[in-house]
Chains A and B, each alone.
Chain A
């Protein structure tokens, strides 16, 4: 009972419950949902793996977004940055049909990540140095970003025939798990490292909760803000690599489309508040997985991809309403009223 109470008060309660409900639904209505088997080529196969695999990019983006939102900001440019990074990578590799890359693979990867980091520096400069509202500042790159991506690819969809490129979005031969999952895992570990082994987490939260007091305590507010936007850009760069490798091409129009919205959603579902402050890495990851599970579930029961948003919307509105102060207060009042009534009943019995 105590455990239950403790759980219900923990920040992870809501996203975990949502995920559990979804999984339960799947267990009942979808055949062989939890079955994982080893394929002939040595890869693992099954719906849970599939969900994690497809959630990888979202998890990575959401990790970066968590830090940004924890400082009280927002980064709506990540989707566009995914497109820029994808375009950069494909441009470096080139669309030569023989499968020979123009530049070494590693150079392409580094360039894509650099593109992400540069985007982050741009956002960070506007937010931290010029003190422009985060949403406005990142709106600039959100608008111009896809244009830049198209500028890079010259408006074409560059298809890459270089074989190893497909490993990022697919699997490296001989490895059981999809590479994207492994990358996501690495990013999670990196974030956990930053959270536990550096004081970045402490600084981010203190800036998000009370910027003035943080400045008085010597926290370099500007540097912290810079850092979170750069990290968010880096995450978007990584996700860009995965997204472009999945389709082996750079599609400036559709790469990472609306992913910023999903990332923000994952963070909110995970219990981190939009106003900033305490953040929950675990919650964010579960939030991202929940979103992907929802998608997969809907596919499994035959809801088409373009109808999915309606269901997603209802889930969002439900969850943010439950998290709102007003709702909690109403709930408390309702419970008190019930307790009152119960007491009265008892009194009248006695």
Chain B
């Protein structure tokens, strides 16, 4: 029994189990405490409301996994920029939404390329570079318009309100896209050599280089993916807000990072699991839902609870790592006496 637990803690999926358990506990707590909480629609609403954050978190998780201080602070600003671009394009031009959307996705890719270029070519700190592009995108958004711009394109509105029925419940198009992104990202990270390369450079860049991986190319791709996801998240966000505004997506990068960490991603890189990060987002969503059901608590409790969870997870990770080391030392000691024999 002890051994089972010991192995469980040492397993790389341990964080994922804990996150999953926590989600179930939180959801269960809500179900027990509030009438009407335990319904499939409440569960699906978690996806519907958080679709943009899920998509953005998937992207940022790639950058964190790639290690070397990998992070993308520009995602929130890209979300804002894509919303605004969409709104302005549809207001001032007669372009079809189906042309506008690929265009804004290109913007996301471009921002990702800029990030990746500065980080891989000039060997600059991802933190500072993406901080720069964050400012850049925020500024560009404001240059397009300082005021909120509504999206009144009918075709686009229909798209935004598209939903699919599952039994008695429904799920929005945005949520579907988020789920597809999650599935694709999980498959890419698990079943392609690019995906494994991301883990490898996050684990030990030097070794990865020696094993023949093209480290710089992988790292560049990671930032492009993050930029793309941010733009896609921006589209999903515009379906919810139906407007472009400079303050859209403010602080979203920090929510995404927090979700990722709660989902078991280690900020050092090399360890993380996409379904876990989705659970991280859902946990934040569940807390918000509980607070709205409760009615008297205000929304800022979410932040405090998320902060506490973050703290718990980070300390847990530190303890797990220590436990693993201890386990290994025990093994090493028991497998034989140290040092070779003398003559």
Instruction: Say yes or no: is B142 at the interface (Cβ < 8 Å to chain A).
Output: yes
**Contacts of B146 on A, CB cut-off 8 Å?**
304, 306-307
Given A130-B318, A317-B118, A320-B128, A150:B300 Cβ within 8 A: yes
- Asked if B308 and A306 sit within 8 Å, CB to CB, the answer is no
Cα distance A327–B258 when bound, in Å?
A: 34
- Say yes or no for A326: interface residue by CB 8 A criterion: yes
Q: Interface readout for B168-187 with A: 1 if CB under 8 Å, 0 if not?
A: 00000000000000000000
Q: Which of B120-155 contact A (CB under 8 A)?
A: 121-125, 127-129, 131-136, 138-143, 146
* Pairwise interchain contact A146-B261, C-beta atoms closer than 8 A: no
Residue A312 interfacial (CB < 8 Å): yes
CA distance A324 to B19 in the complex (A): 40
Chain B residues contacting A311 (CB-CB under 8 Å) are 139
Give how many A-B residue pairs fall within 8 Å (CB-CB): 137
B250: nearest chain-A partner, CB-CB: A257
Of all chain A residues, the one with the shortest Cβ separation from B121 is: A326
Chain B CB within 8 A of A155 CB: yes
Indicate which residue in A137, A306, A312 contacts B246 across the interface (CB closer than 8 Å). A306
On chain B, the residues within 8 Å of A309 by CB distance are 134-136, 138-139, 142
How far apart are the CA atoms of A151 and B304 in the complex, in Å?
Answer: 9
Chain B residues whose C-beta falls within 8 Å of the C-beta of A150 in the assembled complex: 298, 300, 303
Residue of A nearest to B311 (CB): A140
Cβ distance B290 to chain A, nearest Cβ, rounded Å: 15
Q: Which of A15-23, A56-64, A171-179, A260-268 contacts B (4 or more CB under 8 A)?
A: A260-268
> How many Å from the CB of B330 to the closest CB on chain A?
22
Give A299-350 interface residues, CB cut-off 8 Å to B.
304, 306-314, 316-317, 320-321, 324-327
Tell whether, in the assembled complex, residue A252 and residue B122 are in contact, meaning their CB atoms are under 8 Å apart: no
Residues of A within 8 A of B134 (CB): 261, 309, 313
Residue of B123, B257, B258 near A326 (CB, 8 A) is: B123
Q: Please give, as numbers and ranges, the residues of chain B lying within 8 Å of A131 by CB-CB distance.
A: 318
The listed residue (B121, B128, B143) touching A307 by CB distance below 8 A is B143
Beta-carbon contact of B122 and A327 below 8 Å: yes
Among B139, B303, B307, contact of A313 (Cβ-Cβ < 8 Å): B139
Chain A residues contacting B141 (CB-CB under 8 Å) are: 306
Q: Kindly state the separation between the CA atoms of A310 and B118 in the bound complex, as whole angstroms.
A: 17
How far does the alpha carbon of A308 sit from the alpha carbon of B298 in the complex, in Å?
A: 33
- Min C-beta distance of B206 to chain A, whole Å: 17
Shortest Cβ distance from A148 into B: residue: B304
Q: Is the CB of A321 within 8 A of B300?
A: no
Measured in the bound complex, the distance between the Cα atoms of B28 and A322 in whole Å is 54
Is there contact, CB below 8 Å, between A264 and B301? no
Contacts A136-B261, A306-B142, A316-B128; is A155 near B300 (CB within 8 Å)? yes
CB-CB under 8 A from A137, the residues of chain B are: 314
Q: Are B303 and A321 in contact (CB under 8 A)?
A: no
- What is the bound-complex CA distance between A245 and B227, given in angstroms? 39
Q: Does residue A144 face the partner (Cβ distance < 8 Å to B)?
A: yes
Separation in Å of the A294 CB from the closest CB of chain B?
Answer: 11
Shortest beta-carbon distance, B307 to chain A, in Å? Answer: 2
**A135 pairs with B314, CB closer than 8 A:** no
Task: Determine whether A183 belongs to the interface, using a CB cutoff of 8 Å to chain B.
Answer: no
**When the two chains form the complex, which single residue of B118, B138, B254 contacts A143, counting CB atoms closer than 8 Å?**
B254
Asked whether, in the complex, the Cβ of B139 is within 8 Å of the Cβ of A310, the reply is: yes
Q: How large is the interface on B (under 10, 10 to 19, 20 to 34, 35 or more residues)?
A: 35 or more
Q: How far is the CA of A144 from the CA of B308 in the complex (A)?
A: 7
Q: Which residue of B lies closest to A321 (CB)?
A: B122
Question: Are the C-beta atoms of B258 and A324 separated by less than 8 Å?
Answer: no
Is B128 a contact partner of A304 (Cβ separation < 8 A)?
no
Complex: A142 Cα to B268 Cα, angstroms? 19
Contact between B129 and A320 (Cβ–Cβ < 8 Å)?
yes
Residues of B within 8 Å of A130, CB to CB, are 315, 318
- CB-contacts of B99-127 with A (<8 A): 118, 121-125, 127
| A74→B127 contact, CB < 8 A | yes
B123: contacting residue among A147, A252, A325, CB under 8 A: A325
B254 touches A317 (CB 8 A): no
Nearest CB on B from A297, distance (A): 15
Q: Is B267 in the interface zone, CB < 8 Å from A?
A: yes
Would A314 and B136 count as touching, CB distance under 8 A?
yes
* A274 at interface, CB cutoff 8 A: yes
User: Contact at B261–A252, with CB atoms within 8 Å?
Assistant: no
CA distance A151 to B122 in the complex (A): 43
> How far, in Å, is B116 (CB) from chain A's closest CB?
13
**Residues of B with C-beta under 8 A to A115:** none
A210 within 8 A of B: no
Contact with B122, one of A145, A146, A324 (Cβ below 8 angstroms)? A324
Separation in Å of the B316 CB from the closest CB of chain A? 11
Indicate whether B310 reaches chain A with its CB closer than 8 angstroms. Answer: yes
Nearest Cβ distance between residue A73 and chain B, in whole angstroms?
A: 12
Task: Kindly state whether residue A212 has any CB partner on chain B within 8 Å.
Answer: no
- Set of chain B residues within 8 Å of A219, measured between Cβ atoms: none
Interface assignment of B306: CB less than 8 Å from any CB of chain A = yes
B261 CB contact (under 8 Å) in A74, A139, A145, A327: A139
**Contact (Cβ within 8 A) B139 A308:** yes
Of B118, B254, B306, which contacts A321 at CB under 8 A? B118
CB distance from A311 to the nearest CB of B (A): 7
- Cβ–Cβ contact A324 & B124, under 8 A: yes
Could you tell me the distance in whole angstroms from the C-beta of B323 to the nearest C-beta in chain A? 14
A306 contacts across to B, CB distance below 8 A: 138-139, 141-142, 146, 246
A-side interface residues toward B, CB under 8 Å? 74, 126, 130-133, 135-137, 139-148, 150-151, 155, 252, 261, 264-265, 268, 274, 304, 306-314, 316-317, 320-321, 324-327
12 A-B contacts (beta carbon < 8 Å): A139-B310, A140-B307, A144-B306, A144-B307, A155-B300, A304-B142, A306-B138, A310-B138, A310-B139, A310-B140, A310-B143, A321-B118
Write the residues of chain B forming the contact surface with A, with a CB cutoff of 8 angstroms. Answer: 69, 71, 118, 121-125, 127-129, 131-136, 138-143, 146, 246, 254, 257-258, 261, 267-268, 298, 300-304, 306-308, 310-311, 314-315, 318
Known contacts A126-B314, A136-B261; can you find 8 more A-B pairs with CB under 8 A?
A: A133-B268, A139-B258, A143-B303, A147-B300, A151-B304, A316-B135, A317-B118, A320-B129
- List the 3 closest A-B pairs by CB distance, nearest first: A310-B139, A144-B307, A147-B303
